[in-house]
């Protein structure tokens, strides 16, 4: 029976049939979507819009969610890496990125300087790090982040990771706990007062 079918058989494909995982992603301000902690560029004009994503061990595909048209296909990258087609790199700074840099300037002189240095060195690839610095401002306040950014500039390492680690080693609340307002009495005074008020007369 096999001999009879042999003339009709076709050669095996060069690679196995692709089994994709599927999902939807919103294109980030840096023009990329995230898959398994790696970043893949979408065509210009897709920032803030949702795309369909298919991925396997070798490839990541971005598709138009309405038409199914293939927008971009990338080779799979390790965690933290980026893949952007050369023609998709922006020719000028996007308005959303300019707004981020303006927010950083308002937060503090050193904060703005660190964020602008990140952008000058990494362009759109640094947007997530700029947002990371601003998230530290939201979480801890501008004073400790400004101090950390000044330290980063002085040491020549204006990077989000340095700022985050500096704050972790110098937590703002620890400094607040060391501050004693002269208007606040020692706790022993309140304890003694409470003891006197609660004593039962003989």
Instruction: Name all domains of the chain by residue range, CATH numbers in brackets.
Output: 21-88 (2.40.50), 95-178 (no CATH)
pLDDT, average across residues 31-59 = 94
Query: For residue range 148-182, what is the model confidence (pLDDT) as tens digits?
Result: 999 999 999 999 999 999 999 987 765 544 444 55
| Ranges 31-45, 58-72, 146-160, 176-190: which has the least confidence | 176-190
Query: For residue range 65-105, what is the model confidence (pLDDT) as tens digits?
Result: 999 999 999 999 999 899 999 898 888 888 889 999 999 99
DSSP string, 37-52: TEEEEPPTT-TT-EEE
pLDDT, average across residues 36-58 = 94
pLDDT, average across residues 104-118 = 96
Strands 38-41 and 82-83: parallel
State pTM to two decimals.
0.66
Closest CA to 61 of 73, 71, 49, 78: 73
Quote the CA–CA distance of 67 and 50 in Å, as a whole number: 13
Q: Are 124 and 94 in contact (CB under 8 A)?
A: yes
Instruction: Report which secondary-structure segment, H or E, holds 150.
Output: helix 142-155
Residue 14, Ramachandran bin (φ over 0: left; ψ between -120 and 50: alpha; else beta): alpha
* The two structure tokens encoding residue 6: 């042999």
pLDDT interval class at 3 (50, 70, 90): confident
């Amino acid at each position: 029976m096999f001999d009879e079918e042999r003339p009709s058989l076709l050669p095996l494909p060069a690679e196995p049939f692709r089994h994709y995982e599927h999902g939807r992603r919103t294109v980030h301000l840096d023009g990329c979507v995230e898959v398994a902690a790696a970043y893949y560029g979408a065509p210009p004009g897709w920032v803030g819009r949702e795309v369909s994503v298919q991925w396997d061990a070798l490839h990541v595909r971005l598709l138009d969610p309405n038409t199914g048209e293939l927008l971009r296909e990338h080779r799979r990258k390790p965690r933290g890496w980026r893949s952007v087609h050369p023609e998709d790199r922006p020719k000028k700074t996007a308005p959303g990125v300019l707004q981020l840099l303006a927010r950083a300037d308002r937060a503090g002189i050193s904060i703005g300087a660190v964020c602008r240095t990140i952008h000058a060195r990494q362009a759109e690839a640094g947007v997530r790090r700029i947002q990371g610095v601003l998230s530290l401002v939201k979480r801890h306040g501008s004073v400790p982040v400004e101090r950390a950014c000044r330290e980063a500039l002085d040491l020549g390492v204006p990077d989000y990771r340095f700022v985050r680690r500096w704050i972790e080693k110098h937590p703002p609340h620890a400094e607040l706990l060391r501050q004693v307002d002269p208007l606040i009495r020692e706790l022993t005074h309140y304890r003694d007062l409470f003891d006197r008020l609660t004593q039962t007369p003989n």
